[in-house]
Homo-oligomer: A and B are copies of this chain.
Amino acid sequence: MKVYKGTFKVEWAHCDAAGIVFYPQFYTLFDQATERLFSANALSYAELARDFDSPGMPLVETGTKYANASKLGDTLAVESWVESWDGKTFVVKHKLTHADGRPALEGFERRVWIKRDATRPAGFRAIEVPETVRARFSD
C-alpha cells in the first residue's frame, strides 16, 4: 500500500490564541496530504483532468479525533493512505504523531471519483473508481 509520509512543523501561522494548532488547519493539511499522495501516483489535478477527464475529488464526509494538542514548535509525523475503495467513493486516512511517539490525531476524508458530464447540472457525475487508479496504490 502506498503511503504518503511527511512532516508538519507547527508554525505561528497555524496557531490560535491558545498557542496550539487551530483545528481547521488540520483539514487543510489533510487536503494537501491527499494531493501529495495522489500526485506521487501520477494523479495530480492536472493528470486527473488530462487522463481521467476529472475536475477534482469532492468530499462527502470528513472527520477527526484529536488525542494530544499540537503546540507551536512541535514537529509531527504525517502518514496518509487510501484506507478503502468503496465503489464510487474512497477513504483517505491521515495520522499525525508527535516526535515522542504520542498520537496527535487521526482523521479521514471520504471522496467521490467523478468524471465531467456536461449534461448534469453540476457538470460531472460520480463513477466507479477506475481499476487502473486503484492499482497504483498497491505495492
Contact = CB atoms under 8 A, between A and B. Distances in A.
Interface residues of A, number: 37
Contacts of A35: 11-13
A18 B64 contact: no
Contacts of A45: 12, 17, 72-73
Contact of A46 (B28, B69, B73): B73
Interface string A21-65: 011110110011001100000001110000000011011111111
Nearest to A122: B69
Contacts of A59: 23, 66
A55 B72 CA distance: 13
A60 to B, nearest CB: 6
A68 B15 CA distance: 21
A58 B58 CA distance: 26
A63 B69 CA distance: 18
8 contacts: A11-B31, A17-B45, A17-B56, A20-B58, A23-B27, A46-B72, A61-B63, A63-B63
Interface of A: 11-13, 15-20, 22-25, 27-28, 31-32, 35-36, 44-46, 55-56, 58-66, 69, 72-73, 122
